Amino acid sequence: MGKPTGFLDFQRQLPADRDPGERVADWREFHHHLPEADLKKQGARCMDCGIPFCHTGQLVSGMASGCPIHNLIPEWNDLIYRGLWREALDRLHKTNNFPEFTGRVCPAPCEGSCVLGIHSPPVTIKNIECEIIDHGWLNGWVVPEIPARRTGKKVAVVGSGPAGLSASAQLNKAGHWVTVFERADRPGGLLMYGIPNMKLDKNEVVLRRIKVLEQEGIKFVCNTEVGKNFPADRLVSEFDAVIMATGATLPRDLPIEGRQLQGIHFAMDFLTANTRSLLDHHKNGNFIDASGKDVVVIGGGDTGTDCVGTSVRHGCKSLVQVEILPKPPLQRGADNPWPEWPKVYKMDYGQEEAAFRFGADPRVYLTTATRFEGDTRDHVKAVHTVQVEWKRNDQGQFIPRHIPGTEKVLPAQLVLLAMGFLGPEQPLVQSLGLERDARTNVQAEFEKYHTNKPGIFACGDCRRGQSLVVWAFNEGRGAARECDRYLMGRTDLP
């Protein structure tokens, strides 16, 4: 390493975020940047650790440990310390087609498994990654790379989210003609409509990269839902291979009393409509408005956080985020050792903004909704909740049990359900005759990605279930490799 004692000489430092009072008034990204001199110091903290767990990319106790796309993290940390930004970008692009996305929205399992993190704050891997690619765009180093030759093979990719984009980019590099079908009005899938603009800018980040992909020869066909306005049999007959990358978009519902009331929405409907209205410059006002309302968000994950941040920007009257799990500890527990993902308490951007607006973290833990109460217009007006404790049932499984006497009533004119996803939507899967696993995901073996139908591959959330963006990138690249092997008899794709 460039500075073997860097981890002793320098403390972990992250760029400051924009002040919550400022950023809740707009939809711009909320992160600042570190000066180059400070970034070099952060790169110098990367240890000569012998076995860099940061890029192992394995599942440990069911959670990601290390980078799923095996980023060459120690190498580009060292290059940043030496000031070799162009070389660092080349190293980064070897494993990651879209570091500007992971550098913004990935939860950084690499940092959770950083060897330095055993006894000190880990290396700021995610921030350095983002700075490398932003530096590359700023200096004009990210340009279209048009294949020198074409194979004449045509591949259809269904879905333009993280898995679909990475599969498309790799297949195009191999020289195939790639057409990406997207049912929304803009490409990007989850990156476009599932993540708010203040977390991932759509024009300056997402569409910027889409434009480069188009210049490289990839064709995006939007407003087209395969199986509806584009027949599934036509997909098979007109293309030499098909990659299913539709995501796991079937939301988990909450079938309790009052669910039919107006004002109760799935989180993704709320987030999608908001981003679309924002990109359309609010010309039609066709979005779910939280302004002046008591908002209850049910679900404590990233999507719930995005609902919190969006509602605060709308100007909601009050906000409560209901989480059925216990509050995480401030430090790793004995049952959560390194290199597992650290399940510790943190204030994400949405909770910080809600705390600024209302004075406290909006989350209530070990709590579940029991029924929705409506007004005379059949619109939700309150959420009834109760605290829970997790106990083992007769089968030894932990389940939540209600605690009598802990009932509460939360005022709510808007309820957002952010409880995760059950799997892919089924009509297209059924029409193609694809086998499914016990969770209704498309059946295809990891790292092979072949479905039961020759020439049809599946990757990302529609194959593995709801997961991280970086796992989708891993699977998209892997599916492209196996699709290329199917088409050509061999492959040079990594």
Domain with CATH 1.10.1060.10 in the chain: 6-138
Bigger pLDDT: 299 vs 61: 299
CATH 3.40.50.10860 correct for 154-249+422-488: no
* Position 63 confidence tier, pLDDT thresholds 50, 70, 90: confident
Q: What is the pLDDT of residue 62?
A: 87
Residue range 115-160, pLDDT digits in tens: 999 999 999 999 999 999 999 999 999 999 999 999 999 999 999 9
Query: How many C-beta atoms surround the C-beta of residue 242 within 10 A?
Result: 25
Q: Are strands 414-417 and 294-298 parallel, antiparallel or unpaired?
A: parallel
Q: Provide the CATH topology of domain 6-138.
A: Fumarate Reductase Iron-sulfur Protein; Chain B, domain 2 (1.10.1060)
Which residue spans of the chain are classified as CATH 3.50.50.60?
A: 154-249+422-488, 253-419
Q: Class of the 253-419 domain?
A: alpha beta
Instruction: Supply the pTM of this predicted model.
Output: 0.95
- Report the interhelical angle of 73-81 vs 125-138 (nearest 10°): 60
Of the chain, the percentage scoring pLDDT greater than 70 comes to 99
Average of pLDDT values for 43-64?
91
pLDDT at 2 over 90: no
pLDDT higher than 70, residue 1: no
pLDDT at site 75: 95
Q: What is the band of 185 on the pLDDT scale with cuts at 50, 70, 90?
A: very high
| pLDDT band at residue 86 using 50, 70 and 90 as cut-offs | very high
Residue matched to tokens 């089924």:
426
Percent of the chain clearing pLDDT 90 (strictly above)? 95
Contact criterion met (CB below 8 Å) for 367 and 322: yes
Helices 469-488, 162-173: crossing angle, 10 deg rounding: 40
